[in-house]
Amino acid sequence: MKSFVLSLCCLLLITVDASSQSKEETDLADVCKAFNKAMIDADKSKLEKLTLKTLSYGHSSGLVENQTQFITALVNGTIDFTNIDITDQTIQVSGKDAIVRNTFKGTLLKDGSPFELKIGLLMVWKNVKGNWQLFARQGYKL
């Protein structure tokens, strides 16, 4: 009986640990999904709301853009995402700041030519007046 209770407790702890994302982490995961959808939709208004004016957006190629340059490339079709798939995402919240890391796979048209992208991402988010906004993003080659 003791081994059954011990096994049950261990299973419960493993289950609780695996699903123990904080509310902030869960909220930010949803914001990241909304951000990716806004990139696919080239939704200027949503992208502006989800990014800070001081955004530093670093591409894996080394190109660094500000908020206006990043959004303009999506809205004018220079970069046109048709699909984004995120895997291996981790979220670490510290007060009003957060770090999100993931593997980013994207299907897109770049200057009209089809392109497949698989990179690692590091993003820094800030909670401003209750809303998560992207402060910095750096892509890197895998």
Whether the CB-CB separation of 113 and 34 falls below 8 Å is answered with no
Whether the CB-CB separation of 28 and 91 falls below 8 Å is answered with yes
pLDDT band of 111, cuts 50, 70, 90? confident
pTM of the model: 0.84
Dihedral class, residue 14 (left if φ above 0, else alpha if ψ from -120 to 50, else beta): alpha
User: Residues 65-110: pLDDT tens digits?
Assistant: 999 999 999 999 999 999 999 999 999 999 999 999 999 999 999 8
Listing DSSP states for 70-89 in one string gives: HHHHHHTTSEEEEEEEEEEE
Q: Which residue did the predictor score with more confidence, 3 or 15? A: 3
pLDDT score of 36 more than 90: yes
Residue owning tokens 């919240």: 93
Q: Which residue did the predictor score with more confidence, 3 or 130? A: 130
pLDDT of residue 3: 56
Furthest C-alpha separation in the chain = 67
Q: Which residue did the predictor score with more confidence, 126 or 112? A: 126
Tell me the CATH architecture of domain 21-141: Roll (3.10)
Measured distance between the N- and C-terminal CA atoms of the chain, rounded to whole angstroms: 50
